[in-house]
Structure 1
Amino acid sequence: MQASDIGLVGLGVMGENLALNLERNGFAVSGFDLDAARRQSFAQRTQGLKAHTAESLAQLVASLQVPRRVWLMVPAGAPVDAVLAELRPLLAAGDVVIDGGNTLFTDTQRRMAALEGSGILYVGAGVSGGEEGALRGPALMPGGSPEAWPLVKPLLQAIAAKADDGQPCCDWMGHGGAGHFVKMVHNGIEYADMQMICEAYFLMQQCLGMSAAEMSPVFAHWNEGELGSYLIGITADILKQTDPETGDALVNVILDTAEQKGTGKWTSQIALDMGVTAPTIADAVFARTVSAIQPERVTASKILKGPVAKVAGERTAVLPKIQRALLAAKLCAYAQGFALLKAADREHQWALPMAKVASVWRAGCIIRAHLLEDMRRAFAANNDLRNLLVDSHFASVMADCEQDLREVVAMAALSGVAVPAFMSALSYYDAYRSARLPANLLQAQRDYFGAHTYQRTDKPGKFHTRWGS
């Protein structure tokens, strides 16, 4: 039997589809999973292909070309550590381990440190695109041991999605946990993007009285312009789907409680740790947590009073405002995500290639959108750009859209419709463009009760006042 080019550990839907993608692109693959049923499924699906099903990790490693490349697609956390513990004595210096799970970047850095001196190379690779992306072409964000990149680049770029210019949506993000950090921020932006689309849908329903079937072509139309993206496209598809049991729109019979896997929460927590302003991402996480207390909300709806949502105007006038508000809010969320990437880059010295990050996100991943080409151009022109909103192109877009965002937020507030992501995006924009904020009073308060001192506008140094004396 020909030695395999790569071994894949974890043959769930993502792992199996990545293996099939690799094989389709000319690479011989060995697969292993602890679950015998998954091994059997893999053997059946790959019958007649350049693929081998191993019955143990030792057998998988023995089937690989040297230097060996082993890709882990197992749940993040303890399962990765367990596989690594069993795998390490089977590998030699120069071999490569790729962790393709949604791993916290600090875990990647810890595992790299534990492998120091062994010569085993470690790659933390963000993988985005879901099961279809894994099979047809995901966006890949690898980082870790720089020496590993030449060994995995041909495989990863071959299976990655291709942008409109033909470039693979896979590039090296940097050393250490850079790859998994970029994927985490991708997911944080994804949380915000999804929440804002849901808020646009909610406004159409509550303030314009539109049915799902009426909304679907609106989203389809938006998908042809600046808002064009994977998430807008699937929203149009979702809204036209009918439930075969009730005949109602399927979205109407889905319970309004959203789940999460933690990456949006990590993004928000780390933004707080680093002192980076990312309220729209955080509010998208909180929107999911408040959705989860559905029975409590139903009870509260019978007690707490608010305005009754009413028709806000002609659809032909209001829908373009919601469209432009969504565009403005979306830009604010992306700006927050890229600002977090810049802050992490300064702290960890990863030398993140910001234009390449935007380039990798142009296809294959969940947040792929037309706007990312403009973001790629912005960072290609200035990799040190501190915030996307001050780029001349995006500043112009915001100038065209910010009034619509204000009016839509006001409409929602007056109608009692919760739009936390839209509201926080507007507050973020207004705070970021303010030369002066009320933090001067806040510092005076802190000094009053805690003698924390303050700085002055007219001379350097730290000062304290004996207030009230």
Structure 2
Amino acid sequence: MISNNVIFIMGVSGCGKSTIGQLLAQKLNIPFFDGDDFHPQSNIDKMSHGIPLNDEDRYGWLLTLNKLAKKQIQKNNCIIVCSALKKSYRDILSEDVQRQVKWVYLVGTFNQILERIKKREHHFMSSDLLQSQFDTLEEPKQALEINIGLKPEVIVEKIIKEIKMKSEFGLFGLGVMGRSLSRNLAQKGFKISMYNREVKGTEEGVAIRFKEAHKELKSAQPFSEIKAFVNSLQTPRRIMLMVNAGMITDMVIEDLIPFLSDGDILIDGGNSNYLKTKERYDYLKTKNIHFIGAGVSGGEEGALKGPSIMPGGNKETYNLIKPYLESIAAKDANGLPCCTYIGEEGSGHFVKMVHNGVEYVEMQLLAEVSTILKLKGNNPNEIADILESWKSKADSYLLGITIDVLRKKDGEDWLVNKIVDKAGNKGTGNWTTIATAQLGVPSTLIATALFARYTSFYKEERLQSSENFNIKPASLNLEIIDILNAYQFARIINHYQGLKLISEAGRSYKWELNLSEIARIWTNGCIIKSDFMVDLISVLKENDNILSHQFIIDLIQSFKPSINKVVAQCVLSELAIPCLSESVNFLNAYTTANSSANIIQAQRDYFGAHTYQRIDDDSGKFHHTNWK
């Protein structure tokens, strides 16, 4: 259902707000309210004596107009005229109804407006008072600007054309995710425009056919021509790019730039590299175009029903698109949107990249657990039943879909048995591994999960090596509870390493990241949502390092005997479990007070004179030895 809107017409006194507002209300046949009629007597007395109002004077008045707006849009569209000179005033006026507010800013020069005021009888606005309004004015970034030099009738027609006929949000690219997000936005009552390219003979009428296939897109506008698509949007334009990451994104941005205006906003919703997002952010800033890099997780279903969204960029720019993104996002257990402002520049895409790295590990761990259970003599259906029993202690989205995968039959056999064991990847695991190396953070599980996929891809060599070495995994004598505990242990290490990488990136790039908020928006809508993620919200409020929290320490200590047993037996049975084994290797290294790194540092000093520090020298001085 399409929601009602309030049109605020703003500008300094004498710009013609009331005249334009009344004409527009008559033309649209909707209620009109003059904000000046709602001033308390104390404000009227001040202004009539030529005394400017201060923020304290205006606060109650602005709250009254906000309540009026909220009341009116319950039953109809309406128009309210109000000077709304400061951004803080406009924030109060639009509180709780941001997505339903349309701003029209009537622009004129001081002399132009002063001449108008002089011609009006009984107008109390002096030149000093008018100047104080110009001094106070903070021009809006999100308003439709109209020059008051135009005839009132022309101004009204321009407003109607811009606000009534134009869409408020644009989707560029109708692939799987773009289609789902378009439907999600439309279902939430937003009027949208959708663009998809056309290729004669192979890809024609994509946007039109998509609109016709879904009733919720009845008011959506479909396009296959970029200029028309851009011109169909209200200003500042809000365009979400749902195209392939990399060169395609840059090409699309260049195609759009000639038709954009100052203050327009591009949102990259693809899996872009965070460093490229920073480059695009800086590049578009030189052209007065805002850029937001937004990670979107949840796949096709999540994009339709509610994804987890991780936007990064300028915070003021984010606030201009916040109502749209938060409306379509999944909701957490408290009904809050699984979308939050992440931080500056490419931080949103960085967090999404790490999300995908954590996802790689979670998938690999479930694959390893399934392999262990298979070696114990269970068929896919029996493995699914065992995993099903784990939901009370370790439930997650990925656990649920793994159960579904294992139960799927294809004829007389299980489908999973017919799938070639070569795991692909789209690059985010690779980027995460590069980032963790560049930042010097030991996210070893993410790298291990990535390399496990790479190893799987050498199918032909693995077949040959299987014959050459004749390594056949032996049977395992493990209790199901030990396998579950080992799985939970490895998951804790995985989440620690992923969150540590995000934390260190925040310090390195000077992003102010809130790890607890990031965990919260990962509790629904995304691929790595889980019961454990819910637990991490409160843990991360106390400390960014989850391994220093007593709750986590207790869990680790309770699971440690099981992971030791599982990894030891799997190694002795010659079964590959790269992520399970790496998780315990990491903790053993992480908890070693005095490691073997002293030998490495001595070796470095021996062949390269890299120096070393001494434990019996508190000065921090670096030493060198002639080792021969």
The TM tier, using the shorter chain, reads over 0.9
Task: Find the counterpart in structure 2 of residue 295 from structure 1.
Answer: 460
CA distance in 1, matches of 2:472, 2:383: 24
Shift in CA distance, 19/435, structure 1 to aligned 2, threshold 3 Å: same
Task: Find the counterpart in structure 2 of residue 240 from structure 1.
Answer: 407
Residue identity matched to 1:466: N
Task: Find the counterpart in structure 2 of residue 406 from structure 1.
Answer: 564
CA distance in 2, matches of 1:147, 1:286: 40
Q: Deviations over 1:434-460 (max 9, x none)?
A: 111100011111111111111111112
CA distance in 1, matches of 2:296, 2:447: 22
CA distance in 1, matches of 2:230, 2:211: 17
2:474 matched to 1:309? Answer: yes
CA distance in 2, matches of 1:64, 1:228: 43
Task: Find the counterpart in structure 2 of residue 93 from structure 1.
Answer: 262
Residue identity matched to 1:323: L
Moved more, 34-43 or 216-225: 34-43
Partner SS for 2:334:
coil
CA distance in 1, matches of 2:495, 2:540: 13
2:575 matched to 1:417? Answer: yes
Residue identity matched to 1:421: C
Q: Is the contact between residue 209 and residue 311 of structure 1 (CA under 8 Å) also seen in structure 2?
A: no
Partner SS for 1:456:
coil
2:407 matched to 1:249? Answer: no
Moved more, 5-14 or 88-97: 88-97
Out of 268, 277, 280, the residue aligned to residue 433 of structure 2 is 268
CA distance in 1, matches of 2:206, 2:555: 49
Q: Is the contact between residue 307 and residue 414 of structure 1 (CA under 8 Å) also seen in structure 2?
A: no
When the two chains are superposed, the root-mean-square deviation of aligned CA atoms in Å is: 1.2
Structure 2 unaligned spans of 5+: 1-163, 199-203
Partner SS for 1:416:
coil
Task: Find the counterpart in structure 2 of residue 466 from structure 1.
Answer: 626
Task: Find the counterpart in structure 2 of residue 342 from structure 1.
Answer: 503
CA distance in 1, matches of 2:316, 2:438: 30
Task: Find the counterpart in structure 2 of residue 224 from structure 1.
Answer: 392
CA distance in 2, matches of 1:326, 1:410: 14
Residue identity matched to 1:237: D
- CA positional deviation for 1:119: 2.2
Partner SS for 2:285:
coil
- CA positional deviation for 1:145: 2.1
After superposition, residues 100-139 of structure 1 pair within 5 angstroms as: 100-139=269-308
TM-score by length of 1: 0.95
Task: Find the counterpart in structure 1 of residue 183 from structure 2.
Answer: 20
Residue identity matched to 1:199: E
Higher-Rg structure is 2
Pairs aligned (count): 457
Partner SS for 1:141:
strand
Q: Is the contact between residue 31 and residue 42 of structure 1 (CA under 8 Å) also seen in structure 2?
A: no
CA distance in 1, matches of 2:311, 2:614: 46
Indicate the percent of aligned positions where both proteins have the same amino acid.
40
Out of 426, 446, 449, the residue aligned to residue 604 of structure 2 is 446
Q: Deviations over 1:330-377 (max 9, x none)?
A: 110111011100110001111011111101100000000111111111
Q: Is the contact between residue 219 and residue 236 of structure 1 (CA under 8 Å) also seen in structure 2?
A: yes
- CA positional deviation for 1:219: 1.1
Residue identity matched to 1:201: S
Q: Deviations over 1:71-125 (max 9, x none)?
A: 0000001111011111112111221100000000000000111112322111000
Task: Find the counterpart in structure 2 of residue 174 from structure 1.
Answer: 343
Out of 424, 439, 442, the residue aligned to residue 259 of structure 1 is 424
Shift in CA distance, 311/378, structure 1 to aligned 2, threshold 3 Å: closer
Task: Find the counterpart in structure 1 of residue 442 from structure 2.
Answer: 277
Structure 1 unaligned spans of 5+: none
- CA positional deviation for 1:2: 2.6
CA distance in 1, matches of 2:340, 2:387: 31
- CA positional deviation for 1:220: 1.2
Shift in CA distance, 453/348, structure 1 to aligned 2, threshold 3 Å: same
| Moved beyond 6 Å, runs of 4+ | none
**Of the two structures, which has the highest relative contact order with CA contacts closer than 8 Å and spacing of 6 or more?**
1
Q: Deviations over 1:385-437 (max 9, x none)?
A: 2x221111111110110111111101110111100001111111111111111
Task: Find the counterpart in structure 2 of residue 209 from structure 1.
Answer: 377
CA distance in 1, matches of 2:490, 2:218: 47
CA distance in 2, matches of 1:305, 1:456: 48
- CA positional deviation for 1:45: 2.3
Partner SS for 1:224:
helix
Task: Find the counterpart in structure 2 of residue 7 from structure 1.
Answer: 170
Q: Deviations over 1:256-285 (max 9, x none)?
A: 110000101110111001100011110000
Task: Find the counterpart in structure 2 of residue 161 from structure 1.
Answer: 330
CA distance in 1, matches of 2:328, 2:352: 18
Task: Find the counterpart in structure 1 of residue 244 from structure 2.
Answer: 75
